[in-house]
Amino acid sequence: MANLVAMLRLPSNLKSTQWQILAGPILILLILSMMVLPLPAFILDLLFTFNIALSIMVLLVAMFTQRTLDFAAFPTILLFTTLLRLALNVASTRIILMEGHTGAAAAGKVVEAFGHFLVGGNFAIGIVVFIILVIINFMVITKGAGRIAEVGARFVLDGMPGKQMAIDADLNAGLIGEDEAKKRRSEVTQEADFYGSMDGASKFVRGDAIAGILIMVINVVGGLLVGVLQHGMSMSSAAESYTLLTIGDGLVAQIPALVISTAAGVIVTRVSTDQDVGEQMVGQLFSNPRVMLLAAAVLGLLGMVPGMPNLVFLLFTAALLGLAWWLRGREEKAPEEPQPVKMPENNSVVEATWNDVQLEDSLGMEVGYRLIPMVDFQQDGELLGRIRSIRKKFAQDMGFLPPVVHIRDNMDLQPARYRILMKGVEIGSGDAYPGRWLAINPGTAAGTLPGEKTVDPAFGLDAIWIESALKEQAQIQGFTVVEASTVVATHLNHLIGQFSAELFGRQEAQQLLDRVSQEMPKLTEDLVPGVVTLTTLHKVLQNLLAEKVPIRDMRTILETLAEHAPLQSDPHELTAVVRVALGRAITQQWFPGNEEVQVIGLDTALERL
């Protein structure tokens, strides 16, 4: 056993929880052995029962998964179950042709039950039922699931660049970390691989259905030849015996195949939400009482038509009316939207003080009352955490910490409206709808989506506010889909970068100088204020930020100023000198990874025009 473990490169102390490592190879070896070795009837009963149980388990897992990638192994499982059914067909064909003359139990109790009990022992009915199952599996379910997988794979591949851009944008904005970005990129790749695999795996099921028909014909013809020529049976006796066994074998294989095909259809047609398929169907079918009332009215009219089964129609009419009444009552009991609480008026007059003078915040945000949950930690609001990440990421990229964002509610705004203010002046605004998603068209999206059309507030791209149920469809069509808090955070991050020079005031310059003095105390003491005043230093840094040049390399900036400031006091001239000193950093910022930069030289005479 130790040598076997070493050959398989398995850990010598294999734990009981690691048996999954051997599950795949053992199943493949079992399938191959079934095709070669003759199996007794009892073993066939066990394997047929295992095949039925496995197909039911696969269908239930497909029904209870909430995301497509939660069952990413489905294409491989589809291949294994198809091989298992074909191997069982080979094994059962062998035993039917060898022992079919002995009676109906020759291929085991399971085949006998499907051949006699399910179709009443009538091989003509069995053939019809078998052909119907094959047609349903081959022409309806498998063909539809295969087409959906094909189109889904195409749209997922088309939407990959947009998804990657969205991940990179969130990472650059500080909304997610490096680990989360890697996880999302991996999920994008897995989703593309999954739909590509499903596109090919659906061909397995179609081939299995064709093979089932051919195996049935071979079993019947072969059984007649073997029964009549080798065992001396009459034509009618051989036809009845071998045909019933063949029908039982075909049904016991095609029913699990139909179940697996249904699971494939469920997987590729589902929409990824936080609900499984059953919750989605019940929640969306029975959410509107008006639908129940109209359906009850139609059934009631049909139930009153002479000659119709009145009891059945009226029974369903009563059931739908009761369901509509219950849904209407539940809607009326739903809590209403909270209204802003009025503060009691204080009639006493208080003398005004200097504390009543409100200074404008450097950076602020006002939100309507529907957006309050996004900025409230007690209601699982994510926006405050995202803003902290934005400030931290901006400080790492640009070299200074932007001001704190002061957030207030404003009842004068529209409920879903927000405003971003700088020193009390609006610099940006937009709408956000918690619980909905913004589908942004990067320019490559195909088709349209139902929803409220708008424009991405950060970059001005066409966008649509959609419901959560349409998220996966939008991603498949190539839209970049982001949630409401991400929309607001991305807009804020864009504006902070756009107005970084104005946000860098004298106070921020002094705080930055204090931070640098901790690392280079001698340089800062000799430079400020002896050689360069804080005002000049602030203006130079502000000029660089206006050109989107990071000021992280304060050592180079201060050393350059220490060298040239005694001869030149103009901030703009000093900015030009510092810009040259930061040339490598600026070049790397705009042309990353390029050793050469393409430039165009103008003739002197042209420059003088």
Specify the higher pLDDT residue, 477 or 591. Answer: 477
What is the rounded average pLDDT of the residues 27-54? Answer: 85
Q: Distance (Å, rounded) from C-alpha 464 to C-alpha 448? A: 9
Higher pLDDT, 60 or 592: 60
For the segment 466-474, the average pLDDT, to the nearest whole number, is 88
Q: Work out the mean pLDDT of the chain and round it to a whole number.
A: 81
pLDDT of residue 1: 44
Judge whether residue 10 has pLDDT over 70.
Answer: no
The pLDDT score that the predictor gives to residue 545 is 92
225-250 exposure pattern, b = at least 16 Cβ within 10 A, e = fewer: ebbbeeeebeeeebbbbbbbbbbbbb
Instruction: Collapse the DSSP code of 406 into the 3-class scheme (helix H, G, I; strand E, B; otherwise coil) and give the result.
Output: strand
pLDDT tops 60 at residue 9? no
Ordered DSSP codes for 413-431:
S-TTEEEEEETTEEEEEEE
pLDDT in tens, 306-328: 888 888 888 888 888 888 888 88
Tens-place pLDDT, residues 178-201: 788 888 888 888 777 777 777 777
**pLDDT, mean of residues 359-364:** 86
> Which pLDDT belongs to residue 19?
61
Domain 504-591 = CATH 3.90.850.10: no
CA distance 587 to 609: 28
Q: Does 123 score more than 50 pLDDT?
A: yes
Q: What spatial distance separates the first Cα and last Cα of the chain, rounded to whole Å?
A: 88
Q: Give the pLDDT confidence score for residue 542 in this predicted structure.
A: 92
pLDDT at 332: 67
On the question of pLDDT at 495 being above 90, the answer is yes
Q: How many Cβ atoms are within 10 Å of 602's Cβ, its own excluded? A: 9
Of 358, 135, 112, 357, nearest to 261 by C-alpha is: 135
> Residue 255 corresponds to which amino acid?
I
* Burial class of residue 599 in the structure, from the number of CB atoms within 10 Å of its CB (0-12 exposed, 13-18 middle, 19+ buried): exposed
**pLDDT class for 334, splitting at 50, 70, 90?**
low
Residue type, 129: V
Token readout for 421 is 């203010």
pLDDT at 20: 67
Q: Is the peptide bond before 529 cis (omega within 30 degrees of 0)?
A: yes
pLDDT band at residue 169 under the 50/70/90 scheme = confident
Mean pLDDT of 270-288: 70
Sequence-ordered list of residues with C-beta below 8 angstroms from that of 253, at least 6 positions apart, any chain = 51, 85, 88, 89, 212
Q: What is the pLDDT of residue 494?
A: 92
Out of 99-113, 235-249, 441-455, 579-593, least confident range:
99-113
Question: Domain 361-499's class?
Answer: alpha beta
In this predicted structure, the answer to whether residue 149 has a pLDDT above a threshold of 80 is no
Cα separation, 400 vs 394, whole angstroms: 8
For residues 43-55, average pLDDT = 89
Nearest to 93 by CA among 221, 210, 205: 221
Structure tokens belonging to residue 174: 């500080």
In this predicted structure, the answer to whether residue 290 has a pLDDT above a threshold of 90 is: no
Higher-confidence residue of 152 and 132: namely: 132
Residues paired with 464 in a beta bridge:
439, 453
Q: What is the mean pLDDT of residues 105-130?
A: 74
- Write phi, then psi, for 62 (nearest 5 degrees): -65, -35
Structure-model confidence comparison of residues 148 and 487, the more confident one: 487
Q: What is the pLDDT of residue 165?
A: 77
Name the pLDDT band for 249 (thresholds 50, 70, 90).
confident
Beta strands (DSSP E) in 92-208 are: none
Alpha-carbon distance values, 103 to 238, 240, 325 (Å): 10, 10, 59
Across 164-173, 223-232, 511-520, 572-581, least confident range: 164-173
Q: How far apart are alpha carbons 500 and 489 in whole angstroms?
A: 16
- Reference 59, options 258, 222, 196, 217; nearest CA is 258
Confidence of residue 2 (pLDDT cuts 50, 70, 90): very low
Confidence band, pLDDT 50/70/90 cuts, at residue 493: very high
Average pLDDT over residues 462-478: 88
**Which pLDDT value is given to residue 4?**
46
Position 272 scores a pLDDT of 60
Query: Measured between alpha carbons, how far is 599 from 36 in angstroms, rounded to an integer?
Result: 72
In three-state secondary structure terms, 462 is strand
pTM of the model: 0.53
pLDDT interval class at 215 (50, 70, 90):
confident
